[in-house]
Amino acid sequence: MSSKFEKAVAIVQGLPKEGPVQPTQDDKLFFYANYKQATIGDVNTARPGMLDFVGKAKWDAWNKAKGTSTEDAKKAYVDKLLEILAGFSDEVSKQYLAELEAA
């Protein structure tokens, strides 16, 4: 699962802002939370202040993943990306799906 996870992270981080594959804001928070859970574990910082809206949203998303094992977080991350890519029929999505399957 680690190689698929690393490939999925590379794909998500490399998605162009104006490209054909556009995860929603909720998808991005899901990726963030499961990445942090897989690489760090349970949230280990204080919740950001009331004016840091983005920071709070990220912290809250990560905190929801609390107790999820590293392997489960990696699997959730990969599965979510596969689900998103399957919803697109362009060549870029097909290429990403092939790369993930090969990893």
pLDDT digits (tens, 9 = 90+) for 28-47: 999 999 999 999 999 999 99
- Rounded distance, CA 26 to CA 28, Å? 5
CA distances from 57 to 6, 16, 51, 82, 95 (A): 24, 22, 11, 24, 31
Is a pLDDT exceeding 80 seen at residue 1? Answer: no
The answer for 24, left when phi > 0, alpha when psi is -120 to 50, beta otherwise, is beta
**Claim: this prediction has a pTM higher than 0.75:** yes
pLDDT value, residue 28: 97
Among residues 90, 92, 83, the alpha carbon closest in space to that of 27 is found at 83
